[in-house]
């Protein structure tokens, strides 16, 4: 393992998963903000994206608890939540413990980023909600 912080004994177990998870999370959240900004005509609508999409997905991501403690159907919802794989990938990179399958999480994050990028590409290509 790689010593990450010289003052605190904190190891980086899987550097690839950390780099991938952090980059994918950054791009995914950026694309969500971009798409939300294109969709929203008023500030209130952008707040709705934050309140009704991003916040519930983040709370259902297993950040503060193990998703194994969730009852059905919330456990299943957590397993299809890309935010879960974002958090789980970083947890796995830092501690070596994961609630899900890290390789599947890397694939799901990558596919999510590619799909969001493609939606943003289509929106810009068509000029959707862009003013000249």
Domains in the chain: boundaries: 16-124
By 3-state DSSP, what share of the chain in percent is helix, strand and coil, each rounded to 5? 70, 5, 25
SS3 18: helix
| Whole-angstrom distance, CA of residue 69 vs CA of residue 74 | 10
Write out pLDDT tens, residues 68-122.
998 999 899 999 999 999 999 999 999 999 999 999 999 999 999 999 999 999 9
The pLDDT of residue 96 is 92
Q: What is the rounded end-to-end Cα distance, in angstroms, of the chain?
A: 53
For residues 23 and 108, give the distance between their C-alpha atoms in angstroms, rounded to a whole number.
14
Higher pLDDT, 129 or 24: 24
Q: DSSP letter at 29?
A: H
């Amino acid at each position: 393992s790689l010593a990450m912080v010289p003052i605190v004994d904190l190891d980086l177990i899987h550097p690839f998963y950390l780099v991938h998870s952090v980059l994918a999370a950054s791009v995914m959240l950026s694309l969500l903000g971009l798409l939300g900004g294109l969709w929203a005509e008023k500030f209130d609508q952008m707040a709705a994206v934050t309140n009704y999409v991003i916040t519930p997905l983040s709370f259902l991501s297993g950040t503060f608890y193990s998703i194994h403690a969730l009852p059905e159907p919330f456990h299943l919802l957590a397993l299809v939540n890309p935010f879960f794989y974002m958090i789980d990938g970083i947890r796995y990179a830092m501690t070596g413990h994961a609630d899900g399958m890290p390789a599947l999480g890397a694939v799901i994050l990558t596919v999510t980023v590619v799909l969001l990028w493609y939606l943003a590409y289509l929106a810009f290509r068509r000029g959707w909600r862009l003013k000249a």
